[in-house]
Structure 1
Amino acid sequence: MKFQTEVVVHGVKESEGTIEGRAYSSTTFHCEVDLSENSAGRSIGRATRPFKLGDAREYDKWAHLGASLPIKAMATFEMAAGAQDATKLKLVDIKPVERAASKAA
C-alpha cells in the first residue's frame, strides 16, 4: 500500500563505491519522525531516521538545497508487512515543496 505524507528532510547523503569488487550506489534521506514512548519510559520531541531511495544520482537533484535544510518535502512511502508484527516503510519518491511556495511569494 502506498501513501503520501509531508516530511521534513534534515539531510541527504550520497553513497557510491565498490566493496570487494561489488559496486553500490544509493541516496539516503534523513527525515524527521516523532519519538515514541515505550516500556522504558516517556519521551518528547523528534528525531531523524534514514530512508534510502534510488541510486547516488538522486543526491544531485537535492544538492542545490543544502543551505535550505531542513526543508519540507512530499514523500511517497510503500507500507508492507515485515517479520512478526512489524511494518516496513520504504521511501519510493520524494520532492521538495518549499521551493515551489517561495517562488509564489
Structure 2
Amino acid sequence: MQFKSEVIVHGVKESKGTIEGRDFSSTTFHCEVDLAENSAGRSIGRATRPFKLGDAKEFDKWAHLGESLPLKAIATFEMAAAAQDGTKMVLVDIRPVDMAKPASKAGAV
C-alpha cells in the first residue's frame, strides 16, 4: 500500500563508489520522525531517520536546496508487512514543497 505524507527533510546524502569490486550508488534522505515509546522507557520529541531512494543521481535534484534545509517535502511511502508482526516503510518518491512565494498583485487592496 502506498501513501503520501508531508515530511521535514534535514539532510540528503549521496553515496557512490566501489567496495571490494562491487559498485554502489544511492541517495539517503534524513527525514524527521516522532520518537516512539517502547518497553525500555518513555520518550518525547523528534529525531531523523534515514530513507534510501534511487541512485546517487537523485542527489543532483536536491543539491541546490542545501541552504534551505531543513525543508518540507511530500514523500510517497510503500508500506508492507515485515517480520514478527512489524511494518516496513520504503521511500518511493519525494519532492520538495514549492517554496516560491506567491507574486503580489499590483494594485491589490
Correspondence for 1:102: 100
How far 1:59 moved relative to its partner? 0.2
User: C-alpha separation between the residues in 1 aligned to 2:99 and 2:69?
Assistant: 15
Correspondence for 2:54: 54
Q: TM-score, normalised by structure 1?
A: 0.94
CA-based RMSD of the aligned residues comes to 0.9
Aligned amino acid, residue 104 of structure 1? P
Instruction: Tell me whether 1:4 sits opposite 2:7 in the alignment.
Output: no
Pairing of 1:23-62 with structure 2 (within 5 A): 23-62=23-62
How far 1:41 moved relative to its partner? 1.6
Computing the radius of gyration over CA atoms, which structure comes out larger, 1 or 2? 2
How far 1:102 moved relative to its partner? 2.4
Q: How many residues align structurally?
A: 103
Q: Which runs of 4+ in 1 moved over 3 A?
A: none
Unaligned runs of 5+ in 1: none
User: C-alpha separation between the residues in 2 aligned to 1:94 and 1:24?
Assistant: 21
How far 1:48 moved relative to its partner? 0.2
- What is the CA deviation profile of residues 18-53 of structure 1, one whole-angstrom value per residue up to 9, with x for unaligned ones? 011110000000000000011122111000000000
Give identity over the alignment, percent.
Answer: 79
How far 1:93 moved relative to its partner? 0.1
Aligned amino acid, residue 33 of structure 1? V
User: C-alpha separation between the residues in 1 aligned to 2:99 and 2:84?
Assistant: 42
Q: Which structure carries more helix by proportion?
A: 1
Correspondence for 1:84: 84
Unaligned runs of 5+ in 2: 104-109
